[in-house]
């Protein structure tokens, strides 16, 4: 089933989105992470259409060329959350199932926690509830797994990540096609600003997220080098509604690309819960 590319204006920013699926079908909103834009869901979306769902995939702040402010403080979570609500309002989407991976997962947790009446359910891939993440950082191996964030916060991170034909990102599993948008002027800086705006200063306050009361599924892969088991398993403490934990064996961090069928299946299952 074909998808339609649209430009959606929210305030002073314009977001690139893709819409697909049968008109009148239940909506699924999909949010990408770092550093790959919404193309990470290219193998997931057709499966959701086959399951009778309608999809909205958003290139978020910094990834849409028309929504790429230069100031770091324009990338705090309150802005990222407000962007998604603004896009939904502009498209008159009143209820949707929410899906997020990596940074998109963090935004999705906050959306579900702060806009309870807007979402029928939540599916997050890789990223645990932000409070569970903070607890895991205080103990276990998550602090070591997350040590790369210090490199992202430092001056010159863009040059290091793009050096030698972006060898660091390619070695981390980002494909050549996925790297191309990051070569646009200001694109990688904007993507890194998500870290710089939220992982500096009072991080606990920046990431503070309410408990979740909508039906929730967390999909975690046990070969993920960045996000460990502890932050995933602790997330159950912060979901007060129906909760499912799905562990994928042998899959690395890039769940939407590496395990599209499994992720689509979990989204479809969660879409049946209202």
In the structure, what pLDDT confidence band is assigned to residue 1 with cuts at 50, 70 and 90?
low
Break the chain down into helix, strand, coil percent, rounded to 5: 45, 20, 35
**SS3 state at 179:** helix
User: CA 262 → CA 44, 142, 149, distances in Å?
Assistant: 9, 25, 28
Q: Is the pLDDT of residue 271 over 50?
A: yes
Q: What pLDDT sits at residue 102? A: 97
Q: Is the pLDDT of residue 40 over 70?
A: yes
Domains and CATH numbers, the chain: 3-271 (3.40.50.1820)
Read off the pLDDT of residues 240-269 as tens digits, 9 standing for 90 and up. 989 999 999 999 999 999 999 999 999 999
**Following DSSP, what letter does each residue of 24-51 receive, concatenated?**
TSPEEEEE--SS--GGGGTTTHHHHHHT
Q: Is the pLDDT of residue 216 over 70?
A: yes
In the structure, what pLDDT confidence band is assigned to residue 200 with cuts at 50, 70 and 90?
confident
Which residues are bridge partners to 121 per DSSP?
97
Query: Phi first, then psi: what are they for 160, rounded to 5°?
Result: -65, -40
Average pLDDT over residues 6-10: 98
Q: What pLDDT sits at residue 274? A: 46
Average pLDDT over residues 207-213: 95
Which has the closest alpha carbon to 70: 79, 82, 78, 62?
62
Average pLDDT over residues 38-57: 97
Query: Side by side, which strands form the sheet with 13-20?
Result: 3-10, 13-20, 54-58, 27-31, 96-101, 119-125, 216-221, 243-248
Mean pLDDT estimate for the chain: 95
In the chain, % of residues over pLDDT 90? 89
Q: Is the pLDDT of residue 202 over 90?
A: no
Read off the pLDDT of residues 77-92 as tens digits, 9 standing for 90 and up. 999 999 999 999 999 9
pTM: 0.97
Query: How far apart are the C-alpha atoms of 196 and 201, rounded to whole Å?
Result: 9
Q: What pLDDT sits at residue 201? A: 84
Relative orientation angle of helices 77-90 and 103-114, to the nearest 10 degrees: 70
- Residues 6 or more apart whose CB falls under 8 angstroms from that of 201 comprise none
Read off the pLDDT of residues 143-156 as tens digits, 9 standing for 90 and up. 999 998 988 998 89
Q: What pLDDT sits at residue 254? A: 97
- CA 16 to chain CA centroid, Å, is 16
Average pLDDT over residues 10-21: 98
User: CA 144 → CA 76, 140, 147, 223, 225, distances in Å?
Assistant: 24, 9, 5, 15, 10
Relative orientation angle of helices 130-137 and 103-114, to the nearest 10 degrees: 130
Query: How far apart are the C-alpha atoms of 94 and 63, rounded to whole Å?
Result: 24
Query: Phi first, then psi: what are they for 76, rounded to 5°?
Result: -70, 160
């Amino acid at each position: 089933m074909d998808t339609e590319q649209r430009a959606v204006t929210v305030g002073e920013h314009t977001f690139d989105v893709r819409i697909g699926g049968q008109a009148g079908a239940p909506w699924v909103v999909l949010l990408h992470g770092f550093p790959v834009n919404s193309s990470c869901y290219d193998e997931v979306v057709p499966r959701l259409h086959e399951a009778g769902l309608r999809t909205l995939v958003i290139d978020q702040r910094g990834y849409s060329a028309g929504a790429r402010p230069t100031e770091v403080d324009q990338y705090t979570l309150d802005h990222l959350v407000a962007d998604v609500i603004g896009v939904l309002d502009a498209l008159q989407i009143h209820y949707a199932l929410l899906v997020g991976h990596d940074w998109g997962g963090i935004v999705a947790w906050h959306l579900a926690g702060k806009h309870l009446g807007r979402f029928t359910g939540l599916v997050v891939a890789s990223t645990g509830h932000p409070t569970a993440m903070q607890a895991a950082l205080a103990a276990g191996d998550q602090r070591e797994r997350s040590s790369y964030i210090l490199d992202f916060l430092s001056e010159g991170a863009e040059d290091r990540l793009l050096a030698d034909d972006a060898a660091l990102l390619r070695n981390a599993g980002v494909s050549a096609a996925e790297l191309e948008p990051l070569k646009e002027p200001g694109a990688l800086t904007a993507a890194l600003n998500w870290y710089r705006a939220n992982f500096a200063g009072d991080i606990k306050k920046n990431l503070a997220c309410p408990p979740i009361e909508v039906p929730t599924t967390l999909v975690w892969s046990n070969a993920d080098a960045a996000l460990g088991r502890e932050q995933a398993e602790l997330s159950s403490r912060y979901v007060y509604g129906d909760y499912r934990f799905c562990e994928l064996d042998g899959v690395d961090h890039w769940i939407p690309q590496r395990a599209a069928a499994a992720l689509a299946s979990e989204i479809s299952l969660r879409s049946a819960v209202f």
